[in-house]
Structure 1
């Protein structure tokens, strides 16, 4: 991901002192789309990275768009994850629990270490913003794929 544009960051003020950073804007064109890796997703998934960890925050975020039937593999996050559903219809499921529906405006919190998956419903695409922190160089521990039987249950 490209460095954001920083307004007034590190530029000398008229009195010769360095200004403190203020606002950072990352232009949408600086964030290329990428297809989700086959070992991490089933179906077609587009990942648009929004921000990554930096010296001020360990957080990272992405807009993730799933085509109908597409989903993540089972995975867990060392510091948890927030999902903000922006479009479509989808599902989320924690290991050993019932699948739950997701729709625009829903916000899901996945606690640290909880094995789960999320993705589009069988008949509708779904997009969400995923926010998580990186710990020890990793934002997620990826596990086995969600098979068709688990997905349909």
Structure 2
């Protein structure tokens, strides 16, 4: 059973397929307010070394929806293979250390990339708090990535 806010004292039947199902990517693109934008991250295994051919085989079928990756070579190749969408290289800003130095600092990442525009966006649990997002907006942060869009 599920208790809905604003319905104090009432217990309603909760059907996961109807009340809490995951939407498809198509539904997300069609139903979410266009001004919000999307970030779709390509997840790769941090412990594997990928050849350019292997990355190409992974990227070519999904280039219509890839926007970002923590993998520097995947981000570079995605940009090289298509020029329709911007591609974002994600970094933890040095909070964790990786073998690939491009993941450890902005300076190292910039050395290797032909960056047309540098945008600063953030991700984290605080981005689900409206006040924290507003403060970042005031500080000049260009975008926030969130888990719970409200």
Which range, TM-score by smaller chain? Answer: under 0.3
User: Which entry has the higher C-alpha Rg, 1 or 2?
Assistant: 2
Higher relative contact order (CA 8 A, sep 6+): 1
Report the TM-score, using the length of structure 1 for normalisation. 0.25
Question: Which has more helix, going by share of residues?
Answer: 2
Report the TM-score, using the length of structure 2 for normalisation. 0.25
